[in-house]
Amino acid sequence: MQKSRKRTKAIARRPAGQPSLEWLTVWVGRWATPLAAILIVLATTAAYSNTFRNPFIFDDEGAILQNLTIRRLWPIWPVLLPPANGEAVQRRPVVNVSLAVNYAISGYQVWSYHALNLLAHVLAALLLFGVVRRTVMLPHRDGPLAATPLALAVALLWAVHPLLTEAVTYVVQRTEVLAGLFYLLTLYCVIRGAVSARGWTWYAAAVAACGLAMGSKEVAISAPLVTLLYDRVFLSPSWRQVFRRRWGLYLGLAATWAVILIMLPRGNEGSAVFTVPENARVVHMLGEGCEHYGPLDYALTQFGLIAHYLRLCFWPHPLVIDYGLYTPLGVWQIVPYALLIGGLGAATLVAFRDQPWLGFLGVWFFAILAPSSSVVPLFQQIAAEKRMYLPLAAVVTAVVAGGYLGGRRLVAGGAISRRAARATALCVVALASTTLAVVTFHRNIAYCSAVSIWGDVVAKMPNNARAHNNLGNALARLDRTDAALAEYRTGLRLNDNLAETHYCYATTLVKCGRPGEAIQEYRRAVELQPGWAEAHYNLAATLAGQRQCDAAIREYEKLLELKPEYVKARSNLADLLLDAGRASDAVAQFQQVLKLRPDLAEAHYGLGAALADAGRFNEAIASYRAAVSLKPDYADAFYNLAAALAAAGQFPEAIRDYRQVLRLQPQSADACNNLARLLAACPLASVRNGPEAVALASRAVHLSGGREPMFLDTLAAACAEAGRFPEALRMARQAADLAAGQNKAAVAESIRAKIPLYQAGTPYRGK
């Protein structure tokens, strides 16, 4: 029996006389699905194989390099609350967790970030393959015979399409990839659940996937509704059947909207999708004539942009990472696009009568684009190719399905044989996918550096002022300051109302040693955007560097009205007030700093200096001690502490702290001199030490090159304390002559007053 069964199987595998080519066809048919999946994986990986060394650019900085929440995976709660400054990940906890995983794997090495982007994209392509294949295999569709080839064509063309490069290659735009991945997973789980005996497990997975999609990006808000429509079009004969069979599923999917509601911004925090400023207007960072840019203006521009996205689906050139800021359009520019998009919308609704599957694809396209391409404006991003990540799947599916149905009609009409139709379809798909993959590969090269990607934008859109600004930033970081300044000037010629460009231009001017011009640019930036704290800060710091202290103080005060908790600005203001002789005001500012940052050693040091200037030595001593307790190697704080102790008459403690300064900074001439003076002339006999004072004073003179009269005066006092009065006289006279030669008459007079003491063989006593 065993032999008989083996023989039967062998015969079933290859009947006698079967041609080898037909045998290969049978074998390929049996393994069609895994082979198709392997082909998708290999083709997609090949198309993106040159991305693993591409650096972080633009929004990657805030979302990754400046994002402290990704540096630890546990505890998980901080990771689930991304920072507001990382705009691409704020309110998107799933994306933030994925970045934390990358950081745990490779730190800031880019390869793992690109690897995860590619992995998510490949998985999304496989899910799209599964969704299309299982949809075609449903009883009232064309069955398994066409399912795998159609699904392969759709998934392959979509996965390697260059329109998706921004979403896949630009690291932080994995927001689109992850949202798309979980969106497709939601749909796939519902399809599997509808034909499974244990459907509830699949439905639970669908709800979980939908929640992850919501936590990846707000565009997933349409997932429950699109899934519901899919159910009605492909799985259920009526709406009654939809809700009777799967009401629990849709309650669960609707519940995932809570993820977005929970993550909505609070207070004045901005939002990319769901919030509009109170007056629904944007004034700064827009071109002239755009002061009234609001939701209606944004919606009108989207007609042309959606038409542009559709064109890129069929002819993906030119691809641009940044389309710049809003540009007003005339009515006659908008009308043709409005008619086109309106016609497609109407066709979508009409299609539900005769071709519901086509209507579903239309809804898929518009529903996923709606959050970012409707009346809710994204003020800083009028257009973005990444938005086509999932909508492109609808377009590709429609084209492939249309080609398939057209080919079937030609075969049925006898215009072409079935074999020729299959060969033609295979060649078309192979040629199209290869071409798209090659274009994708070459497009990824533009992302090899910040300079190359922004240079690409400037080359394709020379009137894009923001692109010139960003290219300038990239050049400035490479110390190509002349080229950076040229780009900033170009940007400002195109749009003088760009506060960001004025700011970056000013920062580069400071770097080039042109602070006077920089001040004017910073002033323009804060004029355009009065609430910009960093611009006020840089303006104040540049004014202070130019010794325009009163103007700098006023600018810091304006900044602190906007942002009272800005510790660095308040500390700098306190320093300026101290330099201006306003010690009491400086004390008040340093005290405010310490309320915000009691662990800041520099603030305790500054407060000590202000208190010492005000003559409050005991309080100053306490502040300096707090500074050195927080920072035991803080030499300046030890130096000032010693000086304050000496001024308060606490000589042994002062000597101890001067010795600590010299342990930390052995080459400090001032510390050598001050310690030598205390050891030579201190009123307390118990602390005086003539020989050590001579050694320290000689060292101070040597370190200063003999150019400091007070150091020579200290050496004279030390020699007198050591009983070496002839040397003391010689040093005192030399010090007095040096002071007179430096036009320091008062110093010279005070030194000459000690000469009679040395002539009488009496050491000098004093602090």
Burial of 722 (0-12, 13-18, 19+ CB in 10 A): buried
Q: What is the mean pLDDT of the chain?
A: 89
Q: What is the pLDDT of residue 293?
A: 60
- Cβ 326 vs Cβ 290: under 8 Å: yes
Instruction: Kindly give, in sequence order, each residue whose CB lies less than 8 Å from that of residue 213, ignoring residues fewer than 6 positions away.
Output: 178, 179, 181, 182, 183, 185, 186, 220, 223, 256
Of 233, 226, 232, the residue nearest 246 (C-alpha):
232
**How far is the C-alpha of 161 from the C-alpha of 309, rounded, in Å?**
13
The mean per-residue pLDDT over the stretch 266-277 comes to 36
Of 310, 425, 360, the residue nearest 132 (C-alpha):
360
Q: What is the pLDDT of residue 415?
A: 87
Read off the pLDDT of residues 152-198 as tens digits, 9 standing for 90 and up: 999 999 999 999 999 999 999 999 999 999 999 999 999 999 999 88
**How far is the C-alpha of 572 from the C-alpha of 578, rounded, in Å?**
10
**How far is the C-alpha of 469 from the C-alpha of 90, rounded, in Å?**
24
* pLDDT for residue 475 is more than 90: yes
Read off the pLDDT of residues 715-757 as tens digits, 9 standing for 90 and up: 999 999 999 999 999 999 999 999 999 999 999 999 999 999 9
* pLDDT for residue 66 is more than 80: yes
Q: What is the pLDDT of residue 296?
A: 78
**How far is the C-alpha of 385 from the C-alpha of 392, rounded, in Å?**
10
Q: Give me the torsion for CA of 52, 58, 59, 64, rounded to 10°.
A: 50
Local structure of 266: helix, strand or coil: coil
Q: Would you put residue 271 in left (φ > 0), alpha (ψ -120 to 50) or beta? A: beta
Q: How confident is the model at residue 361 (pLDDT cuts 50, 70, 90)?
A: very high
The angle formed by the CA atoms of residues 667, 671 and 677, to the nearest 5 degrees, is: 130
Q: What is the pLDDT of residue 87?
A: 67
The angle formed by the CA atoms of residues 170, 174 and 179, to the nearest 5 degrees, is: 150
Q: What is the pLDDT of residue 279?
A: 31
Q: How confident is the model at residue 28 (pLDDT cuts 50, 70, 90)?
A: low
* pLDDT for residue 636 is more than 60: yes
The mean per-residue pLDDT over the stretch 259-271 comes to 61
Question: Which amino acid makes up residue 656?
Answer: R
Instruction: Kindly give, in sequence order, each residue whose CB lies less than 8 Å from that of residue 413, ignoring residues fewer than 6 positions away.
Output: none
Burial 192-211 (b: 16+ CB within 10 A, else e): bbbeeeebeebbebbbbbbb
The mean per-residue pLDDT over the stretch 593-618 comes to 93
More confident residue, 674 or 287: 674
The mean per-residue pLDDT over the stretch 533-553 comes to 94
More confident residue, 34 or 143: 34
Residue 392: count of CB within 10 angstroms of its CB: 25
* pLDDT for residue 283 is more than 80: no
Local structure of 520: helix, strand or coil: helix
Read off the pLDDT of residues 106-136 as tens digits, 9 standing for 90 and up: 999 999 999 999 999 999 999 999 999 999 9
* pLDDT for residue 384 is more than 80: yes
Q: What is the DSSP letter of 442?
A: H
* pLDDT for residue 700 is more than 70: yes
**How far is the C-alpha of 380 from the C-alpha of 325, rounded, in Å?**
7
Local structure of 343: helix, strand or coil: helix
Calculate what percentage of the chain has a pLDDT beyond 90.
76
DSSP 573-610: HHHHHHHTT-HHHHHHHHHHHHHH-TT-HHHHHHHHHH
Output the six-digit token pair for 355: 């071709």
**How far is the C-alpha of 177 from the C-alpha of 180, rounded, in Å?**
5
Q: What is the pLDDT of residue 205?
A: 98
Of 172, 249, 253, the residue nearest 216 (C-alpha):
172
Q: What is the pLDDT of residue 269?
A: 38
Q: What is the pLDDT of residue 266?
A: 45
Local structure of 46: helix, strand or coil: helix
Q: What is the pLDDT of residue 697?
A: 94
What spatial distance separates the first Cα and last Cα of the chain, rounded to whole Å? 116
Instruction: Kindly give, in sequence order, each residue whose CB lies less than 8 Å from that of residue 163, ignoring residues fewer than 6 positions away.
Output: 309, 312, 313, 316, 319, 385, 388, 392
Instruction: Kindly give, in sequence order, each residue whose CB lies less than 8 Å from that of residue 497, ignoring residues fewer than 6 positions away.
Output: 284, 285, 286, 287, 288, 528
Which of 47-56, 324-333, 474-483, 611-620 holds the top average pLDDT? Answer: 47-56
**How far is the C-alpha of 45 from the C-alpha of 683, rounded, in Å?**
82
Instruction: Kindly give, in sequence order, each residue whose CB lies less than 8 Å from that of residue 685, ignoring residues fewer than 6 positions away.
Output: none
- Cβ 499 vs Cβ 528: under 8 Å: yes
* pLDDT for residue 758 is more than 80: yes
- Cβ 79 vs Cβ 97: under 8 Å: yes
Which of 63-72, 246-255, 412-421 holds the top average pLDDT? Answer: 246-255
Q: What is the pLDDT of residue 85?
A: 63
Burial 52-75 (b: 16+ CB within 10 A, else e): bebebbbbbbbbbeebebbeeeee
Q: What is the pLDDT of residue 29?
A: 60
Q: What is the pLDDT of residue 91?
A: 85
Count the helix, strand and coil residues of the chain and give each as a percent rounded to the nearest 5: 75, 0, 25
Distance of CA 209 to the CA centre of its chain: 26
- Cβ 608 vs Cβ 574: under 8 Å: no
**How far is the C-alpha of 371 from the C-alpha of 227, rounded, in Å?**
17
